[in-house]
A and B are shown apart, each in its own frame.
Chain A
C-alpha cells in the first residue's frame, strides 16, 4: 500500500516546478512498472480523496490513453522540448505530459469531446509554442542588432548630457576659486556681503542638484527613435550659457586680474541664478506643458477592434506613442489570437467558387476586374446560410461557457471551504499546519479540473500555467481573500489587461512606430500613427479637444413656478 502512495506523491511533485525534468524521466526513474498500472492505481486513489468527477475522468482518460498512438506521444515530446515554459497540466487528468500545451483543435463540439482530449493534441493554433520558435528567433536577432546600434547613440546622448551638467555645476565653483588661487594677494578683502553670497551660492547649487536629480536622473522608460527635441534644446541652451559666461569671465576677470572679489562672487551667483532658471524652463517644457489635455487619442487594436480613448496634452508623436503604450498594458484586454477566427465549420462552405470563362479577346486589366466583380457579385447573391450557423455556434458556445463557469464557481467555493486560517489559540499538531503554498496546492486539486475546462472553453489556457494559478491561489489565501477573488473575479472569468499576466512573452518591449509625419513633430488634429507588433498593431488617431464656450446663466431660485396643463375649450 505504501508503494502506490509514494508513486502518487512523486507524481504530484513533478509537474509543479517549471524547470523540473518532464514527467517521462521521472516515471522512468521509478521502479519499472507498466505505466497503465500506475495510472489506474492512481486513479483509484484519487477517487477516494477527491470529488466524483475524477472517477469519470479516469475512465475516459484510459480510453484516451489507449487510443493515443506513438505518433501523438512523439509529437507531444517535440512540443515539450520546444516550449519555453511548462504550461499547466491538469493533475486529475494528465499524467504523461506536464509540459503539454493545453491548446487543442478549435473544437466546438460538445462536452464529451473534452474528456477524450488525449487524442486531440494534433494541431496548435495561432501564436503558440509551435510557431514561437521561428518567430522568436527572427525577433531576437533583430532586437540584438537594433539594440546594439541604439545603445551606442543612447549612451552617447546620456554621456554628453552628464558631462554638460557637470561642467555647468562646477563652473560657479571655478569662478569663485580661481581668483583665490591665482592672485590672492591682490584681492580686496570682502566681508559680510561676500559671506552672504557664498551661502546663497552654496544653497542654490544644492537646490539645483536636487532639482536636477528629481527631473533628469530617472530610468528612461523607452527608447525613442529620434532625439528628444526639448532635451536637445535645453542642452544647447545650457552649453551656450556656460560658454558665454566663461568667455566673459576669461576676458574681463582673468585677463585683467580684477581686484574686486565681490564682483566676481556676484558674477558667479548670477550664473547660478541663470542655471536655476534654465532648470525651471526644463520643468515647464518637459513636465508641465503636456499636462493640460489638448488632444483625444483613440487607440484601436487592429486584430480585434478593442479601442480606448485617452486625453493627452501637447506631446510629440513619439512621446504620445510611449504614453499610449504605457496605458495599453493596463487598459486593453490581453490579445488572444484564438478568439479571433470564426470556427472553420462556418467558413468552409464559402469555398466553392465560380469559374469565369472569358469569351473573346483577352483584354487584360478590364476583363480581370470585370471578372472579379462578377464573381463577387454572384457570390453575394447566392443564398448561403453561414450566418445561421455562426449564430447557432455562438449561442451554443455561450451556453457551454456558462455551464462551465457555473461548475468553476461551485468548485472554487467548495475548495476554499477546506482551508481555514490557524488561530493563535488553537493547538494543532505540526503535521497539519501548512504554509500558504501547501495550502494552495491542497485546494488546487479539487478545482483544477473545473478550472482547466473553463479555461479551455474560453481559450485562455495559454495565459495560465499551473504555476501561475498556484501562485495566485497562494496570494489569495495569504491575504484572506474570498473565493470570488481566488478563482473568479477579473482573473480567470474574463481576459484581463495584459500586464497581469506576468510573463515576458506577453509584455513585449519591441514596438515599431509608423508615422507619416516626422515623429518629433507635435501632435496635431488628424494625425494617425501606428504602433506595430509582429502580429497586430495599434492604430492611433488624434482629435483636438474642442474649444468650449461656457456662458453663464443665473437662475433665481424663486423663478421656478409651475402651472397645470390645461385643455381648455372656449366657445366663440
Chain B
C-alpha cells in the first residue's frame, strides 16, 4: 500500500472572541521568515518559512471555524502570509479593529491507497 499526500486549500472564517480587553482567536502560530524552518514539525518542505498553526485551543473560535493543527496560513484578510516575519504575522492576525478574520489555509492530508482499505 502507499500513502498519497494531498494538499488542499480551505477558506476559514474566524470570529474573534472578546476576552476582557483582547480579541482572541484561539490558536497559536509558528514560523516566519526570521525563524528557523527546520524546526517546523508540520511542514513537508523543511525550507518552508511560512506561518503554521501549532496549537488550537479546545472550543475556541478557531476550532469552531474548522482550523486544524498543522495548517499553513497563506492569507489573512487578503494579506499574504507566506513571506512575513513572525511578528508581522502576529500583528496581522491581532488587529484591534477587525472582528472577523478570513484565512486561506493549506492543509495536507494523507490518504491510504484504496487497495489497502479494500484488503483490510
Chain A positions near chain B (C-beta within 8 angstroms): 565-572
With known contacts A572-B24, A572-B28, A567–B40 Cβ distance under 8 A: yes
Determine the main DSSP class of A at the interface with B.
loop
Question: Are A572 and B90 in contact, CB atoms less than 8 angstroms apart?
Answer: yes
Residues of B within 8 A of A566 (CB): 35-36
Question: Are B86 and A565 in contact, CB atoms less than 8 angstroms apart?
Answer: no
Question: Are B30 and A567 in contact, CB atoms less than 8 angstroms apart?
Answer: yes
Question: Are A572 and B55 in contact, CB atoms less than 8 angstroms apart?
Answer: no
For residue B25, CB closer than 8 A to chain A, the reply is yes
Residues of A within 8 A of B86 (CB): 568, 570
Question: Are A569 and B54 in contact, CB atoms less than 8 angstroms apart?
Answer: yes
| Across the A-B interface, the 5 shortest Cβ-Cβ residue pairs | A567-B39, A565-B36, A571-B28, A572-B93, A569-B30
- CA A571 to CA B24, docked complex, whole Å: 9
Residues of B within 8 A of A568 (CB): 30, 35, 86
Question: Are B90 and A570 in contact, CB atoms less than 8 angstroms apart?
Answer: yes
How distant is A563 from chain B, measured CB to nearest CB, in Å? 9
Residues of A within 8 A of B54 (CB): 569
Residues 59-105 of B contacting A (Cβ, < 8 Å): 86, 90, 93-94
Question: Are B30 and A572 in contact, CB atoms less than 8 angstroms apart?
Answer: no
Residues 24-42 of B contacting A (Cβ, < 8 Å): 24-25, 27-30, 35-36, 39-40
Question: Are A569 and B36 in contact, CB atoms less than 8 angstroms apart?
Answer: no
Chain A, Cβ-Cβ closest to B40: A567
Chain B positions near chain A (C-beta within 8 angstroms): 24-25, 27-30, 35-36, 39-40, 54-55, 57, 86, 90, 93-94
Question: Are A571 and B36 in contact, CB atoms less than 8 angstroms apart?
Answer: no
- CA A480 to CA B94, docked complex, whole Å: 84
Chain A, Cβ-Cβ closest to B87: A570
How distant is A18 from chain B, measured CB to nearest CB, in Å? 70
Question: Are B28 and A570 in contact, CB atoms less than 8 angstroms apart?
Answer: yes
Chain A, Cβ-Cβ closest to B57: A571
Residues of B within 8 A of A570 (CB): 28-30, 86, 90
What are 18 A-to-B residue pairs whose CB atoms are below 8 Å?
A: A565-B35, A567-B36, A568-B86, A569-B28, A569-B54, A569-B55, A570-B30, A570-B86, A571-B24, A571-B27, A571-B28, A571-B55, A571-B57, A572-B24, A572-B25, A572-B28, A572-B93, A572-B94
How distant is A567 from chain B, measured CB to nearest CB, in Å? 4
How distant is A256 from chain B, measured CB to nearest CB, in Å? 92
How distant is B40 from chain A, measured CB to nearest CB, in Å? 7
Residues of A within 8 A of B57 (CB): 571
How distant is A571 from chain B, measured CB to nearest CB, in Å? 4
How distant is A139 from chain B, measured CB to nearest CB, in Å? 64
Question: Are A572 and B27 in contact, CB atoms less than 8 angstroms apart?
Answer: yes
Residues of A within 8 A of B40 (CB): 567
- CA A570 to CA B86, docked complex, whole Å: 8
Residues of A within 8 A of B27 (CB): 571-572
Set B25, B29, B93: member contacting A569, Cβ < 8 A: B29
How distant is A485 from chain B, measured CB to nearest CB, in Å? 53
Residues of B within 8 A of A572 (CB): 24-25, 27-29, 90, 93-94
How distant is B25 from chain A, measured CB to nearest CB, in Å? 5
Residues of B within 8 A of A567 (CB): 30, 35-36, 39-40
- CA A565 to CA B39, docked complex, whole Å: 10
Residues of B within 8 A of A569 (CB): 28-30, 54-55
Chain A, Cβ-Cβ closest to B89: A570
